[in-house]
Amino acid sequence: METPGQIRDRILARFSGAEVTVVTNPGPAAQHSLLVGAAHATAIATFLRDDPVLQLDTCSNVTGVDWPGREIVETVRQPLAPEEDADPAAPPGVIEEKIKRLVPGSLEVVYHLYSVALKHGPVILRLRTADRAANVTLPSLTPVWRACEFQEREVFDLYGVKFTGHPDLRRILMWDEFQHHPMRKDYVEPDDYEWEPTPHDAVLTKARRHYPAPPAAPEEESTP
């Protein structure tokens, strides 16, 4: 099977203007992936499925990743201008400057693709939202691989990614009235556990904060 770099080059040759980046995996598995821009995601997915060399006819897994915003400190080294009386044979001085850079947060959807016909894979495809607050829309790949339907619903439910073109986008684990997305890293679980019919242990301790206070006991009258 072709390497992710080779697949990227063929995608770019087919779709001019597409955004495709190889994301390297430093782990032992070294399963590198392709980060694809949302604008061409459906067309690229169709190409990966129908290309005779790849024939990625099966999507085995769809999962979400939450990337909160984070600050990165980069060290920049610049040569110092030589002084007039400095020894010309001496090595040039270097000044180091630390620059802080904010990387905005985003949500990511990861697809693992295989070819049953050619018995190879996986090719790992990534789609990334513009941010993790307001711009959380990505195209659904369910029209390309039918197996994505329930798994994209799970990502929608637990991470909040909204898939355009999905045939039945609704919650699959949490109830419809639930307002949050439990797999986000800033999710805070509630105290009241109104859905827990028999709270116990630590759950009961937290739930008691929301119980009505017991009525005060009447004061006993003193006997003269």
Lowest mean pLDDT among 125-129, 196-200, 220-224: 220-224
Q: Are residues 150 and 206 in the same domain?
A: no
More confident position, 77 or 168: 168
pLDDT above 80 (res 186): yes
pLDDT given at position 72: 85
pLDDT given at position 41: 97
User: Is residue 80 situated within a structural domain?
Assistant: no
Q: Are residues 120 and 201 in the same domain?
A: no
Q: Are residues 118 and 204 in the same domain?
A: no
Lowest mean pLDDT among 36-45, 163-172, 190-199: 190-199
pLDDT given at position 83: 67
pLDDT given at position 175: 86
27-55 mean pLDDT = 95
User: Is residue 220 situated within a structural domain?
Assistant: no
Q: Are residues 205 and 111 in the same domain?
A: no
User: Is residue 46 situated within a structural domain?
Assistant: yes
132-160 mean pLDDT = 96
pLDDT above 90 (res 89): no
Give the number of domains in the chain. Answer: 2
Band of the pLDDT at 212, cuts 50, 70, 90?
confident
Q: Are residues 130 and 55 in the same domain?
A: yes
Q: Are residues 122 and 190 in the same domain?
A: no
Q: Are residues 112 and 50 in the same domain?
A: yes
Domain that holds residue 191: 183-213
pLDDT above 60 (res 224): no
**Mean pLDDT of all residues in the chain?**
88
More confident position, 172 or 77: 172
User: Is residue 123 situated within a structural domain?
Assistant: yes
Q: Is 34 exposed, middle or buried (0-12, 13-18, 19+ CB in 10 A)?
A: buried
More confident position, 99 or 209: 99
Classify each residue of 150-187 as buried b or exposed e, where b means 16 or more C-beta atoms within 10 Å of its C-beta: ebbbbbbbbbbbebeebeebeebeeeeeeeebebbeee
